[in-house]
Chains A and B, each alone.
Chain A
Amino acid sequence: MSLDKLRSLYKAVILDHAQMPRNYGQLTDFSHETTVYNPSCGDKIHLTILIENNKIKKIAFNGEGCTISKASASMMTDLVKGKSIKEAIELSQLFSNLAANKKSDTLKLEQLGDAQVLVNIMQFPARIKCATLAWWGLDRALLGKEKEEEND
C-alpha cells in the first residue's frame, strides 16, 4: 500500500509536533481567548493568549484534534510567540493564502517555518480544515471575536 503515500502526507516534522505539541495547555494569566470547532468532526481548539505591549508574550492551546490539527496548532503557537499582533495577523494571512492555494513568493513562505510543510496537506482538500483550524482561532482571538455564540 500506501505507506509511502502516508509518509508523503504525514512528514516526520508533522508527526513530531503532533506527538509532542509545543505550547500545549491553558494559560492561567491571559488577555485573549477563543474556542474554534471543526464542524465536520467535532474537533475543537481552545486558545489562550497573553498580550503585553502589543506583543504575544505567551500563547497556549488545548482541545481535541487529529494529527494535522494538533501539529498545525503547535507550529502556529511556536511561530507567533514574541510577534506583534500585526505580524501575527500577517502570518495568519500568509497561511490562509497557502491553504487557498494562492501564489506567495518562496521568500515569504519561509516566514512560516515548520508550518510550511503543511503545504502537502493542501493536496487533500478534505483535510484543509484540520490544518487551518488553529490559525482561524488565532485570527478570531486577535480580531476580538470571542467564543462561538450558542444559537438559542
Chain B
Amino acid sequence: MAKLNTEKIKQDFPIFNQKINDETLVYLDNAATSQIPKFVEEKVRDFNEKERANVHRGVHALGLRATNQYESSRQKVANFIGANNAKEVIFTSGCTDSLNLVAASFGEQNIQAGDEILVSIMEHHSNLLPWQQLAKRKQAKLNFIEINSDGLLDIENLKSKISSKTKIVALTHVSNVLGTINPIKELTDLAHEKGAIVVVDGAQAVGHFPIDVAELNVDFYAFSGHKMFAPTGIGVLYGKKDLLDKMPPYRLGGEMIANVTREGATWAEVPYKFEAGTPNIAGAIGLGAAIDYLQSLDFELIQKHEQELTSYALEKLKNVLGLTIYGPQKSNGRIGVISFNLKNIHPHDLATALDLDGIEVRAGHHCAQPLMASLNTESTVRASLSIYNTKDDIDKLVSSLHEAKEFFSEFR
C-alpha cells in the first residue's frame, strides 16, 4: 500500500541538515510552526530576484507579473480550501490578524448590548481575546462551551448555551492543546438555525486534512501559512462574500479605496477593501508554493501517515509510568498534537531535558490559559507531529522522557 516517504520528505527540509545541542534534530513543535521546504523558499527567492514589484499599482511589466503571481496564489488558496470565489480569500498577516479582522469589523458592526457570543473553552487566546474584549465593549455576554472528560466538545452543553441571542459562534477546528477535531458542520447547522454566524480558527487543521469551507458552510475561516510549510507573516481569512461586502474596512490606507476626496472616501471591492497597505506579496507567493508542495504529496497519504504516527505515539507514551495525556486517548477524531505531563516534573524542566537531546517540544500554557485551568494544570508539554516525523522520532522522545524521569527522580 502507498505510503508517505518520510525520509525523502525530510530531505526537502534544509533545517534537518544540522545538529541541535550536538544531537540529531527531532522536530516535534509543528503546532507552533512547521518547517519550510526548500521548494517554497526557492519560489519566494525567485519572486524577489526576478519579479519583485508592488501589486495592483504600477502599469509596468514587473508590476503586472507580481500582481499575476499574487492573485494566482489567492486562486490557489481558494481552490485549496474549497471557496467558491477567490474574492472570498483575504490575505492577512496570520490567523490572529484574520480573527481580529472579523471581531473588529463584523463584530463591531453587528454586536449590540445583550447579544451573546459563544466560544469554546479550548480556544487559543487569539480566538478568545478578540471576542472577550468585543463583548466587554458592547456589553454583550461571552459564553463558553465546555469539554467532556475525553477532551471532546460537549455537544449537549453547546446546545444548552446556544439561543436566538447568540450572534457569533467562534470555535477552533482543531484544539492546539488536545488535538481534538471539532464537528464544525454539526455546529454550523445548529448556529445557523439560531441565526448566528460561525467563525472557525483553522490554524491547526490546514495542512493536516483537506478543508472545504463551502461544504462546512462556515461564515469565516482563519488560518496561518507558517503552520503549513509557508513563510511566517502570511495568513488567510476566508469569508462569505455577502458578509464581507457589508462589512466596514478594518484598516485604512493604500490599495483599499475606490476614490478619495478631501471630505471622504469610498472603499474598494472585497478582498482589497481589507488589504490596506502593501501586502506580504512574497509571503502570499510562498503560501501558494506551500499549497503546491502539499498537493504534490497526496492528502490521503498525509492523513494516513499522521494518524498512524499519532496512534503509535499515544500507545508509547501511555506506557511511560506517571505520564498523563490530555485530550482524546485514541487516534481517531484527533490529530497529532499531544499534550502531556510527567508526574512531579515541571513541563519547563522536561522540555529543557528533551532539548539537550535535540528534541524540540513546546512547554507552557500554549496560549490557552482558560483550558489549562479547566484541565487543572498550569502548563503541559506538547509534542506535535508533521509529515516528516517518523516512529524513530517517537522512540527517541520516549527514551529521552525515561532518562529525564530517572534524573529528576534521583532527587525525590
User: Chain A: residues with CB nearer than 8 A to chain B?
Assistant: 1-3, 5-7, 9-10, 12, 15-16, 18-19, 40-44, 64-68, 124, 126-127, 130, 152
Contact = CB atoms under 8 A, between A and B. Distances in A.
B378 A42 contact: yes
Contact of B356 (A2, A18, A19): A2
Interface string B384-412: 00000000000000001001101110011
A1 B378 contact: no
Interface string B356-382: 110000011100010010000011000
B348 A1 contact: no
Interface of B: 21, 23, 136, 346-349, 352-353, 355-357, 363-365, 369, 372, 378-379, 400, 403-404, 406-408, 411-412
A124 B364 contact: no
Nearest to B400: A1
Contacts of B372: 42
A5 B379 contact: no
A124 B378 contact: no
A16 B408 CA distance: 11
B21 to A, nearest CB: 7
Contact of B136 (A9, A16, A152): A152
A3 B403 contact: yes
A67 B349 contact: yes
B352 A126 contact: yes
Contacts of B400: 1
Given A16-B411, A19-B411, A65-B346, A41 B356 contact: no
B349 A68 contact: yes
A19 B353 contact: no
A43 B378 contact: yes
Contacts of B352: 9, 124, 126-127
Contacts of B407: 3, 6-7, 10
A34 B15 CA distance: 43
A126 B47 CA distance: 35
A5 B378 contact: no
23 contacts: A1-B357, A2-B21, A2-B356, A2-B357, A3-B406, A9-B352, A15-B411, A40-B364, A41-B378, A41-B379, A42-B365, A42-B372, A43-B348, A43-B379, A44-B378, A66-B346, A66-B348, A67-B346, A67-B348, A67-B408, A68-B348, A68-B349, A124-B352
A1 to B, nearest CB: 5
Contacts of B23: 1-2
